[in-house]
Structure 1
Amino acid sequence: MQSRNTIHVAGADGELGASIARGLLEMKNLHPNLYNISIHAGIHHKTIKTSNMLTERNDVSIVEVDPINQSELVVDSLKKASKLLLLVDPLSGEVTRKDALAFAKGYINAAKEAGVEHIVFPTPFAKLIVPCSPPLTPTDETDKNGDMECISPYRDQFESIELLLRENFQPSQVTILRYPGVLNQHFLYFARYISEESKIPLIDNPHVIFECCDVSDVVRAICHILYSPVQRHGGKEYKITGPHLLTNNEISAKASLALGREIRTDFLPIKQLRQAFLDVTHDKEEVAYLLDLWGLQGQIGAARKVQVTRDLEMITGGTGMGLRKFFEKNRSTFSTDI
């Protein structure tokens, strides 16, 4: 970072992007040698939500960008950036299945034109072992003619983004960070369900083995990569996982121990799981994204490699948060009193 000293966080509209920007600022405050590195948070447009999450941080510059319709402005915003975090976050409310690939493509083209040195791309989708893709997880979404929506699932679009990065940049310029096991995040959506029913809704496959990681660990890994020299992580592909693989019984056992009451698993067909999400959020795009993640976890079985890695420890020097600790930390969220 000799000629450029800015990290640009794309997709900072949502909670994940804002958490990464805050994490970068916290690391900067802890390490004086990082004082000259600027942090830019790229958002689609300013809202009360983004203002509350970001504008109170004096050392984070908010940059309004539209990579789909105004790519030239994105180029200008990236000319001082040495590193780009290409965050495509459907949970932010700013990215949908119709424009996720276009959003990423706009940023990729702008980064190439601006001469960005290092692109970090986080993806929640694990690499498939088999060459063919599994079928789209059924979501029971139909258009007015009764046909299934002909929109590529998020998983396919994230794979296309990876391909675009490899086509446009040297391997040493790109870092892929996979985090396929964000069960903790899903359980927060079902906090009321778990509190009232003392059951954890899971996809109806009692034999599936789950990877499990916490979003805070993903944020920590991303921040370490962005502050590290390009040579340390460029050209590498990581997979962030928690310390253990978990069966359905182990999930319920850890939740029961942490919450101090019996918590059982509730196996739901995909349509019922979709309705459970819709009961929490009415955003169909958000639900489609979450179901894509559940589909990978529960539908394709041996088509993906389920494993525990030590990548988080290698990147950050620390281990990840286990599921029991997560429930203990968020005990009030899953309390029967809410």
Structure 2
Amino acid sequence: MGEQLHKKQRVSDLLNEDVAIQDIIKIVKVSQTMVYNIKHSKAMGEGVQQRPGLGGHNSKPKPEFLESLDKKIREDPMVSMCHLATSFEVNEGTIRRAVHDNLGTASNARTPRHLLTKKLKQKRLLKCQKLLNWIKSKPSTVKNFSEKKIVAVDHVVNHRNNCWLAESIEDVQRVYRTKHPAEVMVLGVGSYDGKKMHPYFFDPGAKVGTDAYYKVLRYHMLPWIKSNYPEGDYVWQQDSAPSHNSTWCQMFFQEHMAKFWSKDFWPPSSPDLNPLDFFVWRVMEKEINIFPARRQPCSALKPALL
């Protein structure tokens, strides 16, 4: 208790000497909240005119403060709350309340998206219309979605939510990443009626070109689809990868498939349309990579991948 009072007195003395708040934090080794609380208490006790936005309890931020804060955020929407608190020399809680309650804004995560040119957007629109018309004309046809995925067997880190509950820092398990993690490419197939093909794992390091892809189609996928849909009430989907659009593979589909969407159907850059891209691969990576102790060998994932 005596040491805490000494620190408070030291902070108060430095504030009287007009030392910058950030410097006081480093000198006395106290929290920013303590410095602001002491400064606020001194100002209220001495009847000093407060800065806009730094009133007492239940006081609303001043319009001048909110206007300056709003201008600062519009100039740099990526600015952090901590940086704003330092810039305005107020408590971070004051900034957060003003931003959320008074300005009506919230901190949102920036999500990656495909950069689509005007030409590509028009191309996607035309193919989506063509695809939608095909589906409407054949509503009972079972859709079979396929997709390849390179899976890196390494720890996946969610930087927005990567906490570990422990009594001390020594008990927290570290995140270890490998420089060159083991990778394997897998082909998955899932159908609208719930049927699924056992995933096909390519040889590690193998280049999946037209020849390799054709062999998988001929000796792995075709027997599965023939046994599950002997009446031919299905359609095969794949993206526009070079190996998929090769003349050899397109001829294979025309000869052996009841129905398939050619390269003129599937819209480019459309992972949101494929259930495998949209959901399945993410679940698979979570199961094998989130906790190293729970990792399963790739072979153990084959029966339950889809």
TM-score by length of 2: 0.23
Larger Rg: 2
TM-score between both structures, scaled by the size of structure 1: 0.21
